[in-house]
Amino acid sequence: MSPANSGAAANARPFVLCLTGSLGMGKSTAARFFSEAGVPVHDSDAAVHVLYEGEVASEIERAFPGSTSGGKVDRAKLAAMVLNDSAALARLEAIVHPLVTASREKFLAEAQACGAEVVVFDVPLLFETGLERHCDAVVVVSAPPDVQRQRALGRPGMTEEKFAAINAKQVPDAVKRRRADFIVDSSRDFDHARAQVRDILRAVAKMKRR
């Protein structure tokens, strides 16, 4: 029986395990391993993608003229508009964050109705947005700086300048690690990361909700 549905009462709130990590650390891979273990995962980035496909495209176009194409947000254009403009980024977050929060709350309610014991909130900017206060425990995915840089620069459209700008806006990895309840070291192979995920789920099963 999976850890996500091993007999929890339908009216008991699932244990909320929040997953985060800086750019290029392997957070998405770790999220996949939690999902493979039977744990429902809410992906904040995926929720934003869905919103950008239509629901908020017109509102974002009004706020950032030229940021959409064919009724959808052009993520590259929008990113260029907000990357080095904190006021613009704040305007974008004011539009998007409440809708992502609503998506996350709906996901949690559905997981609770299904009797899930544990859920994962995959949130790239967990500490930056203060969302860790809504978590029962926090998992930080981490790797050495040279591994992070190599992974990040291997992504389509990533440049040294963009990597530096994104990194500068994120809480440093060392700080995230200090604030974490659990750390997944992603510097080795997938089997090693999977084993760490299994260990975390075993530990979580014995923890109390905050």
Q: Are residues 136 and 205 in the same domain?
A: yes
CB 20 within 8 A of CB 121: no
133: amino acid identity, one letter: R
* Segment among 35-49, 81-95, 105-119, 174-188 with least mean pLDDT: 81-95
pLDDT of residue 84: 82
What's the whole-number mean pLDDT along residues 133-144? 97
> Could you tell me whether strands 15-20 and 182-185 are parallel, antiparallel, or unpaired per DSSP bridges?
unpaired
More confident of the two residues 18 and 54: 18
Boundary (domain end) residue, out of 113, 134, 154: 113
Domain count, the chain: 2
Q: Are residues 208 and 124 in the same domain?
A: yes
The answer on pLDDT for 11 being more than 90 is no
pLDDT of residue 168: 87
- Per the structure, the complete domain to which residue 167 belongs is given by 1-40+116-210
pLDDT of residue 195: 98
Query: Interior CA angle at 104 toward 100 and 105, to 5°?
Result: 120
Domain holding 165: CATH number?
3.40.50.300
Q: Are residues 25 and 56 in the same domain?
A: no
Percent of the chain predicted with pLDDT > 70: 95
Confidence (pTM): 0.88
Express each pLDDT in 22-70 by its tens digit.
999 999 999 999 999 999 999 999 999 999 998 899 999 999 999 999 9
Six-digit token pair at 32? 């996949």
Q: Which residues of 66-83 are buried (b: 16+ CB within 10 A; e: fewer)?
A: ebbeeeebbeeebbebbe
Boundary (domain end) residue, out of 84, 113, 142: 113
